[in-house]
Amino acid sequence: MRILHTMLRVAQLQTAIDFYTDVLGMTLLKQHDNEQYRYTLAFLGYGPESDGAVIELTHNWDTQEYDLGTGYGHIAIGCDDIYQTCQNIAQAGGTISRQPGPVKGGSTIIAFVKDPDGYAIELIQGK
């Protein structure tokens, strides 16, 4: 078994796709509209679904915003140079909610970014 994808509900599909592609460097792998049930699915990742887990963005056409709730934590993405990655994200208009630095009680260097819907994304140096 393996993890296939993580699904996030998004209010503005194109804004979310732009963030994950333009700011985080993912590729839009596929997109599907379901006219009958009024939703669109978009799958994004750093490679094909067959090679690793991807993000599924679900846009329900009649919903304009979501409550993130208290159960959601974050998505983690590994990067080679967290400082340059954060600089690139900020220059692309992304929101850095925690600047790079050691995790509390440890030495792993992490940072956090928020996507347009407020979902937290953890960046981890060297993973």
The residue type found at 102 is P
The DSSP symbol for 46 reads S
Question: What is 75-125's CATH superfamily?
Answer: 2,3-Dihydroxybiphenyl 1,2-Dioxygenase, domain 1 (3.10.180.10)
In CATH, the architecture of 5-60 is Roll (3.10)
pLDDT in tens, 11-51: 999 999 999 999 999 999 999 999 999 999 999 999 999 99
Domain boundaries, the chain: 5-60, 75-125
The residue type found at 101 is G
What pairing do the DSSP bridges indicate for beta strands 39-45 and 5-9?
A: unpaired
Active site residues: 122
The confidence score (pLDDT) of residue 79 equals 94
What pTM did the predictor assign? Answer: 0.87
pLDDT in tens, 80-126: 999 999 999 999 999 999 999 999 899 999 999 999 999 999 999 98
The confidence score (pLDDT) of residue 71 equals 79
The confidence score (pLDDT) of residue 12 equals 96
* Same fold yes or no, 5-60 and 75-125: yes
The two three-digit tokens of residue 76, written as one number: 């983690």
Within 10 Å of residue 91's Cβ, how many Cβ atoms? 9
